[in-house]
A and B are shown apart, each in its own frame.
Chain A
Amino acid sequence: MRARPDSARSNISSAIGANAEYASLVTAAATGDREAMERLLIRAQEAAYRFSLLVCGHPEDAEDVMQDALLKTYQHLRQISKPEAFRTWLYTTVKNACLMKRRRHVGEPTNFVSLEQGVEATSGTIPFDVPDPSRSADQRLIDEWMGGRLRKALKGLPPSYRMVVVMREMEGLSTREVATITGFSEATVKTRLHRARLMLRRHLEDE
């Protein structure tokens, strides 16, 4: 028998709840319910924006990824056969869009590490390329969003670890869903989540 602390129970039920909610919106939207379609597309865009900003760190890219998620979700709804798999499809699409954006960047910093690239925990902090210092009002709002302390700590993680921790802890996806999206085994997802949590804690405590 497994023992489940409260935090684990709440994460599991939130993953199941979010999937059921998405599936119900997808089903309603596919039958022409405009309100469901609007809600679904807004949620998909917000998820895309959060993922892109937290994992890749570029607000301009996040706007583009958000637009891309809107169009692709709208097109995908016409051919969807498994509403319960929508969330996995969405994050796979968003992850790929983020990767494409990063590859297309002109003057890519030499320290860029791709999302797929594994970096061992022992290698410590990977330098994270930061966007242009001339920040717009929008940029300032985004910097303040969600607490600068945690975002700074997230930036200190290797990209593939950051991606796992964002999807598991913040987007509420299950280990299996993250494995499907990233192409990692479930064991690798668990290992990276474990190391990412330890690194995050260290970064937060070092401040």
Chain B
Amino acid sequence: MSAASDCKTILDNISAYLDGELASTAYEAIERHCQACPTCAALVSGLRDTIGLCREAASVPLPDAVRQRARDGVRRLLDRNVEKG
């Protein structure tokens, strides 16, 4: 494969690579290519950071006021249904 076609392959397969969906040979080919191609290495690294940012943000709890409203709503619903029997 030429360097340019390698870069195209990286772009097409980068998500599959990051999600662990590639066979070992394809995975290793991307690893090897990135060692020799700073542009693709930066792309992989940038996407990995983006995914990390999303996952990190997902663990941030909702604002306290929203969580409190959720808890209050649940207790009101359950108490009302206990009273009704």
Contact = CB atoms under 8 A, between A and B. Distances in A.
Interface of A: 1-5, 7-12, 34, 37-38, 41-42, 45-46, 49-50, 63, 66-67, 70-71, 74, 138, 141-142, 145-147, 150, 165, 169-172, 190, 193-194, 197-198, 200-201, 204-205
A145 B62 contact: yes
Interface residues of B, number: 40
Report whether over half of chain A's contact residues are helix, strand or loop; otherwise say mixed.
Answer: helix
A145 B65 CA distance: 12
A37 B55 CA distance: 27
A70 B74 contact: yes
Given A45-B70, A74-B77, A1 B23 contact: yes
Interface of B: 14-24, 27-28, 46-55, 57-58, 60, 62-63, 65-67, 69-71, 73-75, 77-78, 81
A49 B57 contact: no
A11 B59 CA distance: 13
Nearest to A190: B15
A201 B74 CA distance: 38
Given A45-B70, A147-B57, A200 B50 contact: yes
A10 B58 CA distance: 14
Contact of A38 (B22, B55, B74): B74
B58 A165 contact: no
A63 B70 CA distance: 9
Nearest to B12: A194
25 contacts: A7-B48, A7-B51, A10-B55, A42-B67, A49-B70, A66-B66, A66-B73, A70-B70, A70-B73, A70-B77, A138-B65, A142-B66, A145-B60, A145-B62, A146-B57, A147-B60, A170-B55, A172-B58, A194-B15, A197-B47, A197-B50, A198-B47, A200-B50, A201-B46, A204-B50
